[in-house]
Structure formats: C-alpha cells, structure tokens
A and B are shown apart, each in its own frame.
Chain A
Amino acid sequence: MAVEIILPRVDMDMQAGRIARWLVREGATVTPGEPLFEIETSKAAMEIEATAGGILHIVAGPEGGEIAVGSIVAYLLAPGEAAPDAAPAARAAPDPAPASVQPAAPLPAPTSAPVAADDAALLRATPLARRLARSEGMNLAAIAGSGPRGRITRLDVARHARDAMLPAATARTGGLPVRRAGGREGTPVVFLHGFTSEALAWNGLIAALAQRAGGACPPLLAFDLPGHGAAPDSGEASFAALAEAAIGALRAEGIGAAHLVGHSLGGALAARIALDGRIDAASLVLLAPAGLGAEIDAAALDGILRARAPDSLRPWMERLFATPARADAALLRATLEGGAAPGRGDFRQRLARACFPDGTQSARLRWQGGAIAAPARIVWGRQDRIIPWRHALAAPGRFALHLLDDCGHMPQIEATGAVADILAETLRGAQVLLPSQTDRAEVAC
C-alpha cells in the first residue's frame, strides 16, 4: 500500500511551510531514514527523512509555495504500484530537478472540475474526533478515517493513539517489558505508570508528545512495572523493590541518563530513581505523584483491586476523573484484564499493603535538600480525588507546579494536550542544561 508522506509540523506553532527542495528524484527507491526533502518554515529549515522505504512519487514541490501542515507531499510506492489520485497539495507538476534554469511556463488550465478535486481533498472528521485530536495535539491529516468517505471518528483517533507505541517487547535479562515509540537519538524519555495501570496507558500522551517533537523526537520508553501489564508477579511487593526493578530495567536497556515521567505511584518511583543517583535524571515530570503526603483514597484503591466486572469497577474508576465519563468501557476492560492474571491479585494486594497500609501513604520521599538538580515539574488536576493536589506543596522549591482545571487524578488522559505541552517544554529546557553526549555516555557505561 502507498505510504503517504505529509508535510510535518516541525515547529510547535507551525501552520504551513514550503518545500525548499527534494533531495531524492521522482521514481528513485528510498530506504527508511534517508533524507527526502528540505522544509522551510517562517523560523527554520530542516531535512525530513523517509519513515518507510519505497519508490518516491512526488506530489508537491517548491513551486507549490506554502502548504498546510498535514498535506500529502509524496507517496512511497511498492514496485509496480500506481500512485493514488493526486491529492490536495498537488498544485504544481512534480519537478524533481532542483534549481531548474528554465523560465517558468504558464500553468496549464485545470482540466477537471475544481469541485470534485476539493471534495476529494476535504479532510472529513466528526466534531468529536476533531475535538479529541485538538485536545491531544494530534494531526488529523495523519489519521486514517474508517467512516463514510474516509470520515475520521473517535475510534480512529483512539486507534491512532494506540498505534503510536510498539507492542511490549520481550524483557531483556534483568529488565522489564517495555513499549517503545519516538526516535532513536537523544536522551530517552522514560514513563513509569501508576498502581493497577500499565505501560499501554501512556499511549495517548506518547502520541501527543511524538507529534509535538516531530522529527526530533527522542526515544520514548514505557515500562510495565512488576505486577502490571506483561511484567511478572514475582518478587518482593514493596516500593523499594519496584524502584530496584525499574532501575535494573533502565540499566539493562543501557540507559544511564533519562528524562523521567511518572504518574501516581510511578511518580514516587521516578522521584526515588532521580534521588538514587544510579540513573542520571535529565528532567523529572511527576503527574499526581504519590510520596508527598499521607492521604490517599483507600476506598477507591480497594474497590479497584476487588472489582471483577465493569459495573463494580466503574464507580471507582470514575473517581479518577473530573469527568466521570472518561472511565469508559475500553478503560474498564483494560483495567480488569490487567488485573486478571493468576497470582496478580495477591501480588497487588501485598503491594497495596506495603505502599498504602491502612489507607495511608507510608513511603515518603526524602528530598535530601536539593539533591534533584534537573528541571523538575509537578502536574496535578485540581479535581484529583485520589491524592489531594495540595501534597505538591511538600515538594522542594525548585519544582514547578502546574495545576490543571477540569482534571482529576489522570492528567495524562484528561488533559493530554496540556501535559504533552508541559513535557515538550521540559525536554526543550533540559536539553539546554544537559552535559554533552559524551559525558552522559560515561555514566551509561
């Protein structure tokens, strides 16, 4: 099937750009990673690489002028495959020869009815799909629509977010199952999920972050913690053991320095790892983290652990959100399936008793007077009913605090766009501060 090459967003606020020149000729065979074209925006110029291999069929060239982000600029075809009908950006004839010296010929008059062309080019999406894509920072043009005449629906957006990540890879020796997304270069961003969640739950945020980072996306890694997702249910069920497992998994991946992102219990783990020192925290972003105070909604924890059916799980999962409808059927099913493995319930009960005995957070982070020097942020929903956002006030003064409206305990789901913005900002800020790649490499060894 033809792979669409679209004009990517390479700048946070970029709406359109122009193709400066094609680096590959029409009809040439390209391999993944090969630079395809140069893009020019109001701010920068950069090379865009092929995401797949195939025979290049150019749709839009430098003559096309300003092209909207998301427009199709070329296709990668299989041998013998015909290009799909010319799409929106095909305003000019493909001209693979850069710096042509021929005088510009007058454009031929359009031969087909412009109405039909417009209709084919129209991006169809339901209002709900548009709103979701907007709030999660996704580019609709990159999403395949399954509705009538290619209309994009809510399910298509959800599917696109899900497909952002690869399936859980086999654990390396001493490691944990990991889902990967993003690029191959740069300090990795590591995601640590909360109690009763799993790596897959980071999908939406990871898709939104990858969209924001564009071609410069660092590796994004989400781990399944012991007793969750595809990880085993064996070993000691304690906060310290979870932290050791996470550190071990990072080291098994060869990671010496990482941007750490953690949610709830995973937030406490991320902070613990940053304080530990064996992994160099390039930045720290904690979403509604545990470990900063005593209170936690014990009834919800207990209810989620005990629930065996969607109807008994729903009331508790609804407490995680400011908008209860966010606890939808898919999330309930995923949560139930995630806890269904034999032996898992027992492990989680022991972990809950260790981390939250008698409905109290027992593990408290000791900040060791400014031991975390990396940029650090805490993100919390004002409507969090699981852990009160005021716990954030116990964090060191260097931490920035983002309080989100209309958001409960799951900012990564309920305010995906805002969290992705905050993450992207943190990553950009941390890059400036980071020591050079070689310094970090020593740590990694």
Chain B
Amino acid sequence: MNAIVSIDTGPEGAACRDISYADAIHEALRSALEADERVFLLGEDIGVYGGAFQVTRDLVHRFGEGRVIDTPIAELGAAGVAVGAALAGSRPVLEFQFSDFATLAMEQIVNQAAKLRYMLGGNASVPLVIRMPAGAGTGAAAQHSQSLEAWFAHVPGLKVVQPATPHDAKGLLLAAIDDPDPVVIFEHKLLYKTTGPVPAEAYRVPIGKAAIRRPGRDITIVATGIMVHRALEAAERLAGRGHDAEVIDLRSLRPLDTATLIDSVTRTTRLLCVHESVKMLGIGAEISAAIAESAAFDRLDAPIRRLGGADCPIPYAPGLERAAVPQVEDIEAAAARLIERGE
C-alpha cells in the first residue's frame, strides 16, 4: 500500500502522541467505558481474542465480560440485542468483524435502529454505534473486501462517518457514542496500522463536517477514508506538475457537508470525487449532483469527474484487486486531465 502521511495537527498545547488508528479507537472505547456506565461493547471475538484487528484487545480484562461481550456468530441476533439495549437506555457499540457481514443484520439496522425514533413519535431513540471494518487491499476476496457505506448512507435515520486519520477515528467514535441516534462508522482495514497525532484526552470531532486536508486553487478532490491519503499523495505529485489541488476529507457521508464542498468548488472551478466503494450510484454521484444543483454549478470550468470502485466484485488476484479500486496514479491522471485538458 501507499505511504500514509501524517495529516492531522493536534490542538495547540495538547499532549499529542503519534499512535495508530487502531490504538486511537481503543483509546476512545476505553475512555467511553470509563466515563459512562451505560456504554458496553459487543461483537464476535472482541473479548479474549481482542477483535479481528486487535482494536479491543485488553478491554475485556479491564471492564469484564459484562461490558465487553463476545457474541455468537449470529449477526442478526447481536444487532437485535444492541438495538434493544439502546432502546432500554444503554449505549452499545457493536462491532462487525467485517462490514460485509452486516448484510446479515440489515433488518435490525435499517428497519429497526433507523426507524424506531420516527415510528414511536420521538418517544424513544436508538443511541447505537456500529463499527464496520471495511475495504479492499488485504487479499481477502469478494466477501470480505467490500465498501458498502453508500448503502447505509441511503437510509434516513442513520448517520454514516468514515474517519481517515487516527485523530478522527477517536474523535468521531466519541461523538458517535454521544449521539442519541444510530451512527455507522466505516473503518478501512488498511488504516488500522497507520499512525498520526492524537490528543490524550477525550475530544469530539463533529459529525457532518468535512475537513480541508490541503488547500489548493486548481481543483477540488473530495475523498473518503483511505482515498484521502491517496488523494494527498496525488496532490503532491500534481504540485510537481505545477497544479495546486485542494483535498477534502469528507469524513461524514450522512449528513453530507455540502457547504464546504460548494465553497471549495466555487474557488477551484473543478471537481474530482474519489472513493473506494463502487462508482455507480456511489457517494461521488451524490456529491456531483449536489454541486450541479448548487450555486457552484456556474463556477464549474470543467465536467465533474468521479473515481470509484470498478463495477465488479473485489477480485482475489492481487493485481486485479489493486486495479479494482482507485490508486494514487489514477487520481493524479484524472486530476491532471481535468486541469490541463478540461476533460
């Protein structure tokens, strides 16, 4: 995979350490478990085994099996328990071992968690957090490599976030646990071992707010999750060709921070959307339409372009797997083509 550059700067004077994305999530879970007795975790192998990606590692020993619960291999049941507990006043954090397995639990997520506040006339809410390890690049083939975030972002009643940095992984998770409604967090598996500055104390990153990771004048590249890092590397290469790219880390898919996007495109006059999830009917299509429907339309000096996952299941063969999702060189080429040739 590509080198990940550190793109976060911690708050002035705060004690920031460079820790991994997985450690940042661990830190957020630990501080939430310490701060609020209503918080508990559940998922497959998250106890003694520590989770498939070692995110929860020692938490069962610190907080006991009553608050870090290993569930059977029955996603629909676990999701039902989590929804019920949330309705009853708990703050469950449910981990799916792979986001692909959430397909088994769609009834509870889409029909129950997302709907109950509405159907009960506001008399109840489901303060549930769902963590979804997602994405390709691990050689795990088509059933363990998907990026399904756009599915969930299509459901009114859910919030969907996609942290790209350790800083945001911690801050968005804590904001999600605070949230009175269900929040789905997509964590890219290739990001778990990446590091970046993270303040030691508990802090929140607002849900629904994008971040400009690199200001630029010639093009807006909107990226999600791991694509933020690839877009930043592409931006550095573009700088070598005399192009100044702005890179926006979308961070939240729902609610979508259209104001930041519109403002950026208004300045740069060009837009490239980059995500790993399948391009067709993806978040890039929603962003493109939002821009075309906004006042930024009149500022466009080139067509809007999208890069997304290929229209196929994620292949097992490493070369094909790489080709199925956008890479740094794809982003660089698409952005350069837009800037230099207007197409």
- From known contacts A154-B269, A329-B217, infer whether A127 and B342 are also in contact, taking CB-CB under 8 Å: no
Chain B residue at smallest Cβ distance from A125: B301
Bits for A128-157, please: 1 = Cβ < 8 Å to B, else 0: 111100000000000000011001011000
Q: How far is the CA of A101 from the CA of B291 in the complex (A)?
A: 57
Q: Are A148 and B343 in contact (CB under 8 A)?
A: yes
> In this assembly, does A115 line the interface, its C-beta being within 8 Å of a C-beta of chain B?
no
- Binary per-residue interface labels of chain B (266-309) against chain A in the complex, 1 for a CB within 8 Å, 0 otherwise: 11010000000000000000000000000001111110000000
**A287-325, CB < 8 A from B:** 325
Complex contact B297–A126 (CB within 8 A) = no
Interface string of B330-343 (1 = CB under 8 A from A): 00000000000111
- Measured in the bound complex, the distance between the Cα atoms of B297 and A329 in whole Å is 22
- Within the assembled complex, what's the spacing in Å between the Cα atoms of A272 and B267? 40
A147-B343, A153-B342 are contacts. A126–B267 as well, Cβ < 8 Å?
A: no
- Chain B residues whose C-beta falls within 8 Å of the C-beta of A147 in the assembled complex: 302, 341-343
Q: Which residues of B contact A148 (CB under 8 A)?
A: 341-343
Between A and B, how many residue pairs show CB distances below 8 Å?
Answer: 34
Name the distance in Å between B48's Cβ and chain A's nearest Cβ.
57
Contact A127 B299 (CB under 8 A): yes
Q: How far is the CB of A352 from chain B (nearest CB, A)?
A: 31
In the complex, what's the smallest C-beta–C-beta distance from B13 to chain A, in angstroms? 28
Min Cβ gap B339→A in Å is 11
Write the nearest CB–CB distance from A160 to chain B, whole angstroms.
15
CB nearest neighbor in A for B341: A148
Q: Which residues of B contact A131 (CB under 8 A)?
A: 298-299
Closest Cβ neighbor of B297 among chain A residues: A127
In the complex, are the beta carbons of B301 and A129 less than 8 A apart? yes
Chain A residue, CB-CB nearest to B269: A128
A129 to B342, CA, bound (A): 12
CA A127 to CA B269, docked complex, whole Å? 10
Q: How far is the CA of A441 from the CA of B261 in the complex (A)?
A: 59
The interface size of chain B toward A, counting residues with CB under 8 Å, comes to 13
The answer to whether A128 touches B342, judged by C-beta atoms less than 8 angstroms apart, is: no
Minimal beta-carbon separation of A417 from chain B (angstroms): 14
Bound CA–CA A44/B342 (angstroms): 41
Say whether A154 contacts B267, CB under 8 Å: no
Determine the residue in chain B with the shortest Cβ distance to A157.
B301
Which residue of chain B has its CB nearest to the CB of A328? B217
The answer to whether B343 and A127 touch across the interface, beta carbons within 8 angstroms, is no
Query: Quick check: B301 and A153 within 8 Å, CB to CB?
Result: yes
The minimal Cβ–Cβ distance linking A425 to chain B, given in whole angstroms, is 26
CA gap between A230 and B280 in the complex, in Å: 56
The distance from the CB of B261 to the nearest CB of chain A, in whole angstroms, is 16
| CB-based contact A153/B302 at 8 Å | yes
Residues of B within 8 A of A153 (CB): 301-302, 342
* Complex CA–CA separation, A153 to B266 (angstroms): 15
When distances are taken between beta carbons in the complex, the residues of chain A under 8 Å from B302 are: 126, 147, 153
The smallest beta-carbon distance between A314 and chain B, in angstroms, is 11
In the complex, the answer to whether A128 meets B343 with C-beta atoms within 8 Å is no
| B309-343, CB < 8 A from A | 341-343
Chain B residue with minimal CB distance to A148?
Answer: B343
Q: How many residues of A contact B (CB 8 A)?
A: 13
Task: Determine how close the nearest CB of chain B comes to the CB of A327; give it in whole angstroms.
Answer: 12
Bound-complex Cα distance A171 to B301 (A) = 39
Tell me the minimal C-beta distance from A389 to chain B in angstroms.
26
Which residue on B lies nearest to A131, using beta carbons? B298
Are A325 and B341 CB-contacts (below 8 A) given A128-B298, A131-B298, A153-B301? no
Contact indicator B342/A151 (Cβ below 8 Å): yes
Within 8 Å CB of B266, what residues of A?
A: 325
How far does the alpha carbon of A154 sit from the alpha carbon of B342 in the complex, in Å? 11
With A and B bound together, what is the CA distance between A130 and B300 in angstroms? 10
Query: How far is it, in angstroms, between the C-alpha of A129 and the C-alpha of B267 when the chains are bound?
Result: 14
A147 to B217, CA, bound (A): 19
Complex interface: chain B residues within 8 A of A154 (CB): 269, 301
Q: How far in angstroms is the closest Cβ of chain A from B338? A: 11
Give complex CA distance A3, B217 in Å: 36
Nearest CB on B from A130, distance (A): 8
| Binary A-proximity of B215-237 (CB < 8 A = 1, otherwise 0) | 00100000000000000000000
Chain A residues positioned under 8 Å from B342 (CB to CB): 126, 147-148, 151, 153
Name the residue among B299, B342, B343 with the largest chain A CB count within 10 angstroms. Answer: B342
Chain B 75-98, CB-CB to A under 8 Å as 1, else 0, gives 000000000000000000000000
A350→B130 CA distance, assembly (Å):
69
Q: A126, B300: Cβ atoms under 8 Å?
A: yes
Closest Cβ–Cβ distance, residue A424 to chain B (whole Å): 24
Complex interface bits, B188-218 against A, C-beta within 8 A gives 1, otherwise 0: 0000000000000000000000000000010
Write the chain A residue with the least CB distance to B292.
A127
- Supposing A154-B269, A325-B267, A329-B217 touch, asked if A127 and B341 sit within 8 A by C-beta, the answer is no
Q: Mark A321-360, 1 if CB is under 8 A from B, else 0.
A: 0000100010000000000000000000000000000000
Nearest-Cβ distance from residue B108 to partner chain A, whole angstroms: 44
- Residues of chain A from 98 to 145 with CB closer than 8 A to chain B in the complex: 126-131
Do B217 and A127 touch across chains, with their CB atoms under 8 A apart?
no
Residues of B within 8 A of A126 (CB): 300-302, 342
A309-B297 Cα distance, complex, nearest whole Å:
32
Which chain A residues lie closer than 8 Å to B217 at the CB level? 329
Within 8 A of A (CB), among B233-260: none
The B-contacting residues of A in range 201-243, CB under 8 angstroms, are none
A148→B341 CA distance, assembly (Å)? 7
Give the CA-CA distance A126 to B342 in the complex, in Å.
9
**Measured CA separation A131–B298 after assembly (Å):** 6
Alpha-carbon gap, A154 to B266, bound state (A) = 13
> Cβ of B267: which chain A residues have Cβ within 8 Å of it?
325
CA distance A128 to B297 in the complex (A): 8
CA distance A127 to B301 in the complex (A): 6
List of B residues within 8 angstroms of A129 by Cβ: 301
Contact A128 B341 (CB under 8 A): no
Which has the most chain B C-beta neighbours within 10 Å: A126, A151, A154, A325? Answer: A126
- Minimum CB–CB distance for A154 against chain B, Å: 5
Residue of A nearest to B267 (CB): A325
B301 / chain A contacts, CB cutoff of 8 Å: 126-129, 153-154
Interchain nearest-CB distance for A155 vs B (Å): 8
A437 to B253, CA, bound (A): 69
CB distance from A132 to the nearest CB of B (A): 9
Q: In the bound complex, what is the Cα–Cα distance between A126 and B266 (angstroms)?
A: 14
Of A127, A151, A153, chain B has the most CB atoms within 10 Å of the CB of: A127
A-B contact pairs, 30 of them (CB 8 A): A126-B300, A126-B301, A126-B302, A126-B342, A127-B297, A127-B298, A127-B299, A127-B300, A127-B301, A128-B269, A128-B298, A128-B299, A128-B300, A130-B298, A131-B298, A131-B299, A147-B302, A147-B341, A147-B343, A148-B341, A148-B342, A148-B343, A151-B342, A153-B302, A153-B342, A154-B269, A154-B301, A325-B266, A325-B267, A329-B217
Closest 4 A-B residue pairs measured CB to CB?
A: A147-B342, A131-B298, A128-B301, A148-B343
Q: Beyond A128-B269, A147-B342, A148-B343, list 6 extra A-B contacts (CB 8 Å).
A: A127-B300, A128-B301, A147-B302, A153-B302, A153-B342, A154-B269
A residues near B (Cβ < 8 Å) are: 126-131, 147-148, 151, 153-154, 325, 329
